[in-house]
Amino acid sequence: MAQNPEAAKRVLGVYGAGQVEPGMVLGIGSGTTVDAFIDALGERLRHAPFSLVCVAASEASVARARAAGVPVQAPESLGVLDLAVDGADQVNPERVMIKGGGAALVRERLVMSQARRALILVDSTKLVPRMEQVTVPLAILPFAWPATLARIQEVTPEAYLRQVDGHPVMTDDGLYLVDAHVDDLPNPEDWHAAVKMLPGVVDTGIFAGFPAEVVVSDGEAVWPLEPCQA
């Protein structure tokens, strides 16, 4: 199967924009696929305007939405959402996702948890048969971060503070990020629960248990990822 991630993002963006109905309360995630969705939604609104209430999970998505003509409200207005649209870094056959490469995992989980319907848009390169040799982002408190990192490394030795030009990467919520490299995650939910219990860890990039619809594209076709039958 041919794979064209950039074309897939554009196709998925148009598909996602087509799922938005007038009067909806919409949650918007973050990332490059979500950027394509925002652009497509803005184009749709320019051609056929309709009322819409939106909350976005990152400052980058807020800026992108406003530039595209998509109305965005303050995050304090986050209530029950009709639809949340987001992407993912990896998705396995059970529709367990790794998210947070773009540093918005805490807000993304909040947005998704408020949605009656969650739609995850991924290009086909993000599908994995098993979570092996994966990097899971973790959001941690800056306070005493070396101690928190040491605790994480007791569970996952290859875990490192994410930095750019020697400075810690900070989320929109003022948290630091740790990238945990794991050889094999046969039970991602158990790993998430164990790491999240560590003092100083706010959240992990393992997203499981959400009744999310995962839609995939290779740049040509679009299809739903059906749940794995146990």
pLDDT, tens only, 44-97: 999 999 999 999 999 999 999 999 999 999 877 678 999 999 999 999 999 999
Q: What is the DSSP letter of 81?
A: B
Q: Are residues 77 and 177 in the same domain?
A: no
Active site residue 59: no
**CB-CB contact of 94 with 128 (8 Å):** no
Radius of gyration of the chain (CA): 18
Annotated catalytic residue: which of 21, 108, 154, 189? Answer: 108
What CATH number did the domain enclosing 195 receive?
3.30.70.260
Q: Are residues 116 and 57 in the same domain?
A: yes
Q: Rounded distance, CA 218 to CA 230, Å?
A: 26
Q: Are residues 79 and 161 in the same domain?
A: no
What are the CA-CA distances from residue 79 to residues 135, 165, 182, 184, 223 (Å)? Answer: 31, 38, 35, 36, 30
pLDDT band at 16 (very low <50, low <70, confident <90, very high): very high
Q: Are residues 64 and 147 in the same domain?
A: no
Nearest alpha carbon to residue 135 among 203, 185, 189, 195? 185
Number of domain units in the chain: 2
pLDDT, tens only, 146-188: 999 999 999 999 999 999 999 999 999 999 999 999 999 999 9
- In the chain, % of residues over pLDDT 90: 92
**CB-CB contact of 4 with 218 (8 Å):** yes
Q: Tell me if 230 is assigned to some domain.
A: no
- Tell me if residue 25 falls in helix, strand or coil: strand
Q: Rounded distance, CA 44 to CA 39, Å?
A: 9
Nearest alpha carbon to residue 31 among 81, 98, 128? 98
Put residue 140 in one of left, alpha, beta given phi > 0 → left and psi -120 to 50 → alpha: beta
E strand or H helix that includes residue 67: helix 59-68
pLDDT over threshold 70, residue 1: no
Q: Tell me if 229 is assigned to some domain.
A: no
Q: Are residues 218 and 180 in the same domain?
A: no
Q: Are residues 136 and 118 in the same domain?
A: no
Q: Are residues 139 and 96 in the same domain?
A: no
Q: Which domain holds residue 67?
A: 5-128+208-224
Residue 168 in tokens: 């810690």
Per-residue pLDDT, 67: 98
Q: Rounded distance, CA 109 to CA 9, Å?
A: 21
Pairing verdict, β 90-91 and 97-98: antiparallel
